[in-house]
Amino acid sequence: MPTQRQAPFLIFDKVVLNPDPPPSDRVVLVDFYAEWCNPCKMISPLLEKLTSDATVKTGSGHSLDLVTVDTDTEFDLAAKYQVRALPTVIAFKDGKQVDQFVGALNEAAIRHFLGKL
């Protein structure tokens, strides 16, 4: 049985790194945030809005999923992906990191980022 400390890594691995069934037709955006981070509070609703809209796709036509990671409680996971500033958003496709951005982008900038994926 996994320990409490291992459980987030297992969930992250299953959802982000091992899409079922591979290859996935989805891109997973991972939003590394903290509750105290004001820029995170600005970008999180935009990410939720865009990833929940079925008409929003990546530039290559892939659908989107969103995973949020609280860096205050999941600091090992944040360290693994070298998150040094918040918010950090990392895009994964077929279990591989494909791109990222740091900072609270506006909706147009996020859409531009998605268009490059």
CB atoms within 10 A of CB 104: 19
Catalytic residue among 16, 29, 34, 37: 37
Burial 24-40 (b: 16+ CB within 10 A, else e): bebbbbbbbbbeebebb
Q: What is the dihedral of CA 8, 14, 16, 21, to 10 degrees?
A: -170
Catalytic residue among 27, 40, 47, 90: 40
Is 37 one of the annotated active-site residues of the chain?
yes
Nearest Cα neighbor of 28 from 36, 39, 17, 38 is 17
Is 40 one of the annotated active-site residues of the chain?
yes
Q: Contact at 8 Å (CB) between 50 and 111? A: yes
Positive/negative CA dihedral, 62, 68, 71, 77:
negative
Positions annotated as catalytic residues are 37, 40
